[in-house]
Amino acid sequence: MSRSRETTHYRACNLCEAICGIQIEVREGRVASIRGDREDPFSRGHICPKAVALQDIHEDPDRLRHPLRRTKDGGWERIGWREAYDEVAARLRTIQREHGRDAVATYLGNPNVHNLGSMLFGPPLWRGLRTKNRFSATSVDQLPHHVAATLMFGHKLLLPVPDLDRTAFLLVLGANPAVSNGSMMTAPGMLRRLEELRKRGGRLVVVDPRRTETARLADRHHFIRPGADALLLMAMLHVILSEGLERPGRLAEFCDSLDTVRSLVADFTPERVAPATGIAAEEIRSLAREFAAAPTAVCYGRLGVSTQIFGGLCQWLVNVLNIVTGNLDNPGGAMFTKAAVDLVTSTGRGRLGTWNSRVRGLPEYGGELPVAVLAEEILSEGPGQIRGLLTVAGNPVLSTPNGVQLERALESLDFMVAIDFYLNETTRHAHVILPPTSPLEHDHYDLVFNLLAVRNTAKYSPALFSPGPDSRHEWQIFSELDSRLGDGSLKRRLTRWFNAKLGPRGLLDLGLRFGPYGTGLRAFGGGLSLGRLERSVHGLDLGALKPCLPGRLRTNDRRIELAPQELANDVPRLLKDLEASVDAADDRDSLLLIGRRQVRSNNSWMHNFPRLMRGKERCTLLMHPDDASRLGVAASERVCLVSRVGRIEVPLELSDEMMPGVVSLPHGWGHHRSGTQLATAEKTPGASLNDLTDDQSVDPVCGSAVLSGVPVRVEPAD
C-alpha cells in the first residue's frame, strides 16, 4: 500500500479501553493523517478526538527520549541506559538490604494494561522485588469488580460484560459510556450502539447524580444521591424477590445462597431507601419490575458505583441482579468473553486479604494494597516503612486521593525511579527517569480489553516507526531491571533468557496458538497464530459472546456463590448508613462532589496538546442553579472548594444537569505544580479533584478509594 513514500498502516488505538481500529497514513517518515478504519470489524470506523493525538504523543517535544537523573540543584542531567540501570538497581537493592524487602514499593498507572510489553514483562519484575507494598490504579478504579468476580465466579478476570448489541434493556449506574466509549465494557462506537439499541425497541435507563451525555440519550434518567446505589440495588432485589419475579432459569442449577440474599435484602424496602437515594419508592418498584420483565436485560455499574463507600456491595449486587433475573450468561444479558489469549486460564484467581497494610490494616487483593495507604506507608516510621519507590506510567499525585499529602510523601523518599516518558506531577519527584518508546514505536496487542469486549475480536498492531538506537521499549527496561534486581536462581535466569529471546511477539504467538482459537504448534491449519493475525490487518471478528457457564467458572466447586461472606458481612454497615441518613440533620451548606470524564481528556495526561485543549476552559465546577443562589455564588465566578483534606479554586458553571446538592469536577487536572510538562498550551492547569478526595475514606471491604460523594463546601474565592 505504498504511494511514492506514502504508506498506510492499520492498528488499534491503545489510548483507552475502546481499542478503535485506526488507519494511519505516513508520508516522508511522518504521520500525515489518522482516521477511523472503516473495515475494522469491531469499531467500523469510529474514533474519538484523542486518536489523532497519537501523532502528538509521538512528535511531542515534551516527551522524554533519554534517561534522566536529578541533579543536586534540582535540575536534570542526561545519562546513559547502562548507568541508569546500574544506579536504579544499586539504590533499590541497598534500600531492601538495609530496611527489608517491603521498604521498596511499586505503583503502576493504568497505561500499563494498554501495553503488551508491560503486561508480559512487568510482572516478573514486581514479583522479583518480593515486596508487599505493591500498588496500582486498580484501587482508584475497578477493584470492586475484581473482588466480586473472585468471590462469586472464582477468578478476578471473570468479569461479566453487557451484551450491548443484543440486549433489550440496559440499566446504567454511575457510568457515562457515551463519553468513555465503555469501560469494563469495550465497545467502540458507543453512540451508534446505543442508537441501535433504541432502534430495535430496547430501553436505556440511566441512574446518575448528573444528567450525563449518556442520560441525555436515555428513555429515562433518575438522579441518585452519590453513594446510595447499593441501597437502590438492594431495594430492586427486595421487590424482585418479595414479588416472586425472580427467574434465574438454568443458573439456579449452579447458584448457591439465594435464600441468604432474600434475607439480606428483606430490610431494604423501596419506601425505606427512597429518601436516602432521592428516588421515589414507586419509581424503584417500577424499575425493578421492568428490569425483571424485560425479555433480556443487563445492569451495568461502573466508576461512580465502584469508587464509593459501598463499591464492593454495588458490584456484587449488580451481579446478583443480573443472575436472579436470569440475565447472566444469557445473550442480551451480562456475558463472559472468550478472548484469543485467555488470561482467565493463565493467571492467578485473585485473593482478598492475604495480608494487610502495615499502618491502617487495609486488605491486600491480588498481591496489591489499596493506593489510599501509599502516603501513610511512606510517612509513618517503623519497620516496613517505604523508602524507595518504582512508578510505571502513573501519576498518582493527580489520580489518587489526597494528592498533596502524597507529594509530601514522595519528597521524603530515599530514592524513586519512574518508568515514564513525561515529567509529570509525580515523576518530577523521581531521582531517575527511564523513558520508554512512544505507542507508535512498538507493536501492540490488547491482552486485557479483548477480555472485556462486547464481541470476541482480535487485532495485532505492528509498530509504525523504528525506535532510535538510544531508545528502549518498556519490556526491555523491565527485563534489564529484573535481571539486576530479581531472583538469581537458575530457573529464573533461564525463564528470563527464554522470555527475552521470544520478546512480546514470540510470547504473544504462544498465547494465541495455545488459546481457545489457536492452531497449537502446527505451522498451518485453520487456527489462530500471530502470523494469521498479522495477515488480517483490520482485525478478526471471532463472533458474538456465547454462554459458557458453569464450565468457565473457576470456583473450587464450579458453582456461583450468590452471597459471599465478605460481602454479606458488609450489609449491616449499609443498614447502619441508611438509619444514620434518616437521623442526620440536613447540612444545607455541605455538598457532595463527584468526578466526570471528558472526551478530550485522558485521565491525568494529554493536557499539553493544543488540538485537544482548544475551546473553552474544561476544568469547571458544575453546580445546580438552586445551590448557587442558596450559596450566593454566580456562574463564571471562581469559587473555593473545601474538603477535609484540601482547598482548591475553580471556575463555576451552572447547570440543571446536576442533582441539587451535588457538584462535579473533572478528574486528572491540576498541572500547576512546577517542573512538569503537562500544563495546556494555553497554560490552563485546572485544579485536581484529588487535592480534595480523602485518603482516609475507603470502602473497607476492598480498600478502594472513595472518589465519588466527597463532602465539600463551596465558598466565594478571595
Q: Closer to ligand SF4 by CB, 153 or 449: give it.
A: 449
> What's the closest the beta carbon of residue 453 comes to ligand SF4, in angstroms?
12
Segment lying near ligand SF4 (by CB under 6 A), choices 13-21, 383-391, 459-467, 603-611: 13-21
d(CA 535, CA 168): 36
Using the minimum distance from each CB to ligand SF4, give the nearer residue, 44 or 672. 44
**β-strand partners of 602:** 605
Question: Whole-number minimum distance, CB 46 to ligand SF4, in Å?
Answer: 7
Strand partners, 113: none
When binding is defined by CB under 6 A, the residue of 47, 125, 158, 386 that contacts ligand SF4 is 47
Q: Which residue has the cell 472464582?
A: 154
Q: Pick from 9, 10, 11, 16 the residue near ligand SF4 by CB under 6 A.
A: 16
- As measured in angstroms, the least distance from the Cβ of 17 to ligand SF4 is 7
- Determine which helix (DSSP H) or strand (DSSP E) holds 651, and give its type and residue range: strand 647-654
Q: Is 444 in the site for ligand SF4 (CB under 6 A)?
A: no
48 lines the binding site for ligand SF4 (CB under 6 A): yes
Does residue 622 sit in helix, strand or coil?
strand
Does residue number 20 form part of the binding site for ligand SF4 (CB under 6 A)? yes
Q: Please identify, using beta-carbon distances, which residue of 111 and 670 lies nearer to ligand SF4.
A: 111
Q: Is 542 helix (H, G, I), strand (E, B) or coil?
A: strand
Stretch that binds ligand SF4, among 11-19, 77-85, 463-471, 703-711 (CB under 6 A): 11-19
Nearer to ligand SF4, 15 or 230 (CB): 15
| C-alpha dihedral sign at 642, 645, 648, 650 | negative
Peptide bond into 666 cis (omega under 30): no
- Give the nearest distance from C-beta 343 to ligand SF4 in angstroms: 20
Distance, CA of 450 to CA of 219 (rounded, Å): 29
Nearest to ligand SF4 of 20, 662 (CB atom): 20
In the list 11, 18, 360, 673, the residue contacting ligand SF4 (rule: CB under 6 A) is 18
Sign, CA dihedral 158-162-168-171, equals positive
Q: Which is nearer to ligand SF4, 15 or 563 (CB)?
A: 15
Residue 212 CB, nearest approach to ligand SF4 (Å):
16
DSSP lists the bridge partners of residue 596 as: 666
- Residue 369 makes contact with ligand SF4 by CB under 6 A: no
Selected range binding ligand SF4 among 47-55, 282-290, 638-646, 694-702, rule: CB under 6 A: 47-55
Question: Measured between alpha carbons, how far is 102 from 99 in angstroms, rounded to an integer?
Answer: 8
Q: Does 433 bind ligand SF4 (CB under 6 A)?
A: no
Contact string 175-204 vs ligand SF4 (x = CB under 6 A): ------x------x----------------
Which residue in 548, 550, 515 sits closest to 530, CA to CA?
515
Give least dist CB 403 to ligand SF4, A. 24
| Binding region for ligand SF4 (CB under 6 A) out of 16-24, 310-318, 546-554, 662-670 | 16-24
DSSP run (H or E) holding 28:
none
- Judged by CB under 6 A, the chain residues 499 through 558 that form the site for ligand SF4 are none
Taken in order 435, 436, 437, 438, is the CA torsion positive or negative?
A: negative
* 30 vs 10: CA distance, rounded Å: 15
Nearer to ligand SF4, 53 or 568 (CB): 53
- Min dist. Cβ of residue 481 to ligand SF4 (A): 29
113 touches ligand SF4 by CB under 6 A: no
Q: Kindly report the backbone phi and psi dihedral angles of residue 395, in degrees, each rounded to the nearest multiple of 5, phi listed first.
A: -135, 65
The verdict on 19 binding ligand SF4 (CB under 6 A) reads: yes
Residue 56 or 694: which CB sits closer to ligand SF4? Answer: 56
Find the binder of ligand SF4 among 24, 26, 31, 51 (CB under 6 A). 51
CA distance 328 to 332: 9
Residue 686 DSSP SS3: coil
The number of helix segments (H) and strand segments (E) in the chain equals 23, 31
Rounded to 5°, angle at Cα 583 from 582 and 584: 95
26 makes contact with ligand SF4 (CB under 6 A): no
Rounded to whole angstroms, the Cα distance separating 69 from 87 reads 10
Place of cell 451552572: 654
Residue 15 interacting with ligand SF4 (CB under 6 A): yes
Joined together, the cell numbers standing for residue 673 give: 505544580
Cα–Cα distance, 268 to 571 (Å, whole number): 10
Stretch that binds ligand SF4, among 17-25, 108-116, 347-355, 691-699 (CB under 6 A): 17-25
Distance, in Å, from the CA atom of 160 to the CA atom of 112, rounded to the nearest integer, reads 22
Of the listed pieces 8-16, 124-132, 304-312, 704-712, which binds ligand SF4 according to CB under 6 A?
Answer: 8-16
Place of cell 421492568: 290
CA 353 to CA 155: how far, in whole Å? 15
- One-letter amino acid of 566: E
The window from 48-56, 149-157, 518-526, 706-714 that contacts ligand SF4 (CB under 6 A) reads 48-56
Residues near ligand SF4, by CB under 6 A = 13, 15-16, 18-20, 47-48, 50-51, 181, 188
